[in-house]
Amino acid sequence: MTIYWTFVTNYNLKFDLLREGEEKTILSETYPEFIRDLSDLKIRSCHAFTGWTLEQIQKDNPHLILMIKELIKNGTIELVGHTYGHPVISIIPDWEVEKQIKTGIEIEEKILGERSKGFYPPEWVIDPTIPEHLEKLGFKWMILLENNVSDIYDNQTKDLFNSKFIEGTNNSKIPTVFKYGGKDLQLRRKIYDVLEGIKTPSHFVEGFLDSAKHEPNNSLLIFYLDSESPFFAKTKENPSPQTKLKEVFELLKKQENFENVTISEYLKRFPPKKVIGTKYYADYKPISVWSEGYEKLDSLLENAREKLLKKKDVLEKAKIDEAWRYIMLAEGSDNRSTIHKPKLNGIKISGRKLFGNPRRLIEGYDYVKKALAILR
């Protein structure tokens, strides 16, 4: 019996827990150490950059861009599309979904010389139009949470960790793999326990292996962590959380009958044969977190979109592109989730509470107002 595994991570410098100035530390310390460890261990993994974050890495740490390009070239990592501004794509206009995704691809090609094959929807939210958009834009696969499909329709009888098709509008369908949560859906929490020093790397790996034994042969087990996580776990008492994650990877690499692959490599060997039903969103946050209470922001965004469409053939291209970028950043999910109740009350990490950054919502308004100023 062979179990395949991979690691998926995303890079989003608009993360709603980040405070002003902390991006610099992540760009100079967290991201480089994170990627260096994956490189040293040759961990085949999948990396999703928002277009805006990739631009900031190029600006502040061009050496890291060279490292990423080399890892792509030698097949250690593969890119995963993640849009330009990290919106919840089910709540923006359908015609603009393609703009968000396509701009992300263009940034990848410009900075890294390569485009993504797979797509990771921000906040794990999709709708029936997304498979059609992804087919049109040349994507080969998508990743969702196990939570998107578990315990609905007849899915409880299906092997969730073999690839499946998700269907969409106009007879579209996209090969899809699902992030592994373990039987209790707490794998991400257990990784945080390791980063925080609550559990040892060996304890995590033992639990992961024990859970994996119950999965069908040739399953793909994906575990996921935001690349900013080691930054949040770092304290004076816990100065090197990244080394604990590195030890997890070292232990996993040593396991017999566990093969580390990229998602594209796995799908080449085991393409999907079945269609599976999905509820299009995951349960960890209700969709209302991003769709309710932002009527003024949504009204400003709609006004900006209308003005842009009217003036796109009148204003110079550079101004139109700048206005588009501001609109896409104003749509970011973190502008809204920063005032979600758990972020208001604080999330406990490494013995302290981290709160949502209230500036994120203000930024959303600032971005759309900048777009409107350009389009006057």
- Site of tokens 């900031």: 56
| Mean pLDDT, the chain, integer | 93
What percentage of the chain has pLDDT greater than the value 90? 84
Count the alpha carbons within 13 Å of 35 in the hemisphere toward its beta carbon.
27
Joined together, the tokens standing for residue 225 give 């962590």
pLDDT on residue 136: 98
Query: In Å, what is the CA distance from 91 to each residue of 13, 134, 226?
Result: 21, 17, 23
DSSP β-bridge partners for residue 258: 3
Query: What is residue 123's DSSP assignment?
Result: G
Query: What is residue 9's DSSP assignment?
Result: E
What confidence tier does 186 reach under pLDDT thresholds 50, 70, 90? Answer: low
* pLDDT of residue 157 exceeding 80: no
Joined together, the tokens standing for residue 78 give 């593969």
pLDDT on residue 184: 45
- Residue 278: exposure state from Cβ atoms within 10 A (0-12, 13-18, ≥19): buried
For residue range 320-371, list pLDDT tens digits in order. Answer: 999 999 999 999 999 999 999 999 999 998 888 999 999 999 999 999 999 9
For residue range 127-146, list pLDDT tens digits in order. Answer: 999 999 999 999 999 999 88
Longest dimension (CA), the chain: 63
CB 246 within 8 A of CB 194: no
Q: What would you report as the CA-atom Rg of the chain, rounded to the nearest whole angstrom?
A: 20
For residue range 268-291, list pLDDT tens digits in order. Answer: 999 999 999 998 887 778 899 999
pLDDT on residue 155: 80
pLDDT on residue 160: 85
- Site of tokens 């900006």: 304
Q: What does the buried/exposed string (b/e) look like for 290-307 if buried means 16 or more CB atoms within 10 Å of the residue's CB?
A: beeebeebbebbeebbeb
CB 351 within 8 A of CB 357: no
More confident of the two residues 207 and 260: 260
- Site of tokens 């390569």: 114
CB 50 within 8 A of CB 104: yes
What percentage of the chain has pLDDT greater than the value 70? 98
Residue type, 82: H
**How many H-runs (helices) and E-runs (strands) does the chain carry?**
17, 11
| Dist. CA 99–CA 59, nearest whole Å | 23
Helical spans, DSSP H, in 94-146? 94-112, 130-136
CB 334 within 8 A of CB 12: yes
CB 131 within 8 A of CB 172: yes
What confidence tier does 183 reach under pLDDT thresholds 50, 70, 90? Answer: very low
pLDDT on residue 205: 93
CB 123 within 8 A of CB 12: no
| Dist. CA 268–CA 39, nearest whole Å | 23
For residue range 288-330, list pLDDT tens digits in order. Answer: 999 999 999 999 999 999 999 999 999 999 999 999 999 999 9
Question: If residue 259 lies in a helix (H) or strand (E), which one and from where to where?
Answer: strand 258-260
For residue range 202-245, list pLDDT tens digits in order. Answer: 999 998 888 888 888 889 999 899 999 999 999 999 999 999 99
For the chain, the residue count is 376
Between β-strands 352-354 and 77-81, what pairing exists: parallel, antiparallel or unpaired? Answer: unpaired
| Dist. CA 136–CA 130, nearest whole Å | 10
| Dist. CA 280–CA 262, nearest whole Å | 24
* pLDDT of residue 9 exceeding 50: yes
| Dist. CA 299–CA 17, nearest whole Å | 26
**Per-residue pLDDT averaged across 187-209, rounded?**
90
CB 51 within 8 A of CB 244: no
- Which residue segments constitute the domains of the chain, with CATH numbers given? 3-269 (3.20.110.20), 289-374 (no CATH)
| Dist. CA 302–CA 130, nearest whole Å | 21
**Per-residue pLDDT averaged across 46-55, rounded?**
98
